[in-house]
Chains A and B, each alone.
Chain A
């Protein structure tokens, strides 16, 4: 078998399978509902984890405040894969700091988690073949778990937020791990999506 053929077998075919599986699943009403529900849910969770979405500082207040130079501000990094907010939106019970690049990162992760769950749902409803038993529960769990590391990657002013919550002292080793949580989550989510796509009947 030529190198080109093997590369094609390893990359193009699984990707094509993912695209077809996704297309098939989101074209159904319930598959689309699973995708959208999970995507929105994960995005909100991620926004809370990185501190952009939280209980209102001044309950009852509704308002919008934008920085003077949002275009230059939005590219400034505040932490690993976290960026400056350009607007502060008060919604009465919650406040949202709108940081476009952080939101883009969160949305990208949310779409991956949403796709994982939607395709796992499709695999459960329409298993690929007799040789691949339906196991939507296990697949969807794997997809959701793959999104967890990114939720732990949020930082507060001086360190990882999760360490402040659980009270574990940060060491150089732990901090090094935190730098990779989000990239690891992306790799896991993509891998999980490729695997679960094989279980959908095309």
Chain B
């Protein structure tokens, strides 16, 4: 798998910074330039150089990820989102994506039943990406059923999303927008906030990425539903404390995942819901809508209106997830065992025969921050 990283430049900067840090009194003035290089990569919002941000080189002619035909709805313009980016500390690729992923079978997996995993299926090929691995890497540049894809995860917003990466790869910029992972593609250097999946800076500004569904579930549920699934291992090429989440725990929820605090100030705030409550959100070209996940799993069918369209969300109990459709006038009712009756016809939650809308889990504060005018159904 190709990589567009520039190791020699990174090595020089890294060495300079390290020497600067250990350089005592007499060495400090000499290492000033090296510190500048370091600080340059840590810039926050006031970068006025249009051609590059830190070590991200922009190339309009570079290979680009697959793009959606129409751009997704944004509540803010791209400039506002780009200028809201903050650097959390790590530089470009300081959180390293997994570019050569290694997988194993269910029998050889070293996971507990209630460990969160992000599952994907394409043409009968199922793969699971453990949250315990992605919390340290955030992006996996992979191939699924022969297609180059990127499975991405942002721990601070609780979002797992899939993108068709085409002939390029995605990397972690080290910056965050509304606490959300700001990705960049290594082909054009465009920066993409994960949740909005739309370029906010670079050659593809304003375009939206082609996405695919990623299901947030538990290892036990996924392995039961897909016993032939492959699962990502910790053989990532990096050493990390896999199994030790720096933010908290999901089973049961604790730390950052449970408390009301956010690490960065959201773009917009609402006290309508616990900031870390999980919503299943979707955005169309015109609007955004979100459903409280716990309520959906209880009620099984929820409906809402956004942008002049009616939507229905249905629960899928096997994986404890939800699917979203445009109702187009149809009535949907639960009939039991994860099945639904749509205008008299029975169908499973994942294929109701209606116009499917891609939806994914997110923390409420993050969803509301990006889409303050969102329809929220609870």
Contact = CB atoms under 8 A, between A and B. Distances in A.
A179 B372 CA distance: 32
Given A77-B14, A84-B238, A164-B256, A157 B136 contact: yes
A97 B241 contact: yes
A163 B176 CA distance: 15
Contacts of B7: 72
Q: Is the interface of A mostly helix, strand, loop or mixed?
A: mixed
**Interface size bracket, A side:** 35 or more
Contact of A95 (B15, B238, B241): B241
Contact of A159 (B35, B242, B263): B263
A80 B135 contact: no
Contacts of A179: 38-39, 42
Interface string B262-281: 11110000000000000000
Contacts of A73: 237-238
Nearest to A172: B44
B94 A182 contact: no
Among A15, A76, A85, A155, residue most surrounded by chain B Cβ atoms (within 10 Å)? A76
A74 to B, nearest CB: 9
Contact of A169 (B93, B155, B243, B265): B265
29 contacts: A51-B246, A54-B244, A75-B14, A77-B13, A77-B90, A77-B91, A77-B94, A78-B90, A79-B89, A79-B90, A81-B17, A85-B238, A104-B18, A104-B22, A157-B247, A158-B89, A158-B263, A159-B89, A159-B263, A159-B264, A160-B88, A164-B247, A170-B264, A175-B87, A175-B88, A179-B39, A186-B24, A190-B28, A194-B25
Interface of A: 11, 15, 51, 54, 57-58, 65, 67-68, 72-73, 75-81, 83-88, 95, 97, 101, 104-105, 107-109, 112, 155-161, 163-164, 167, 169-172, 175-176, 178-179, 182-183, 186-187, 190, 194
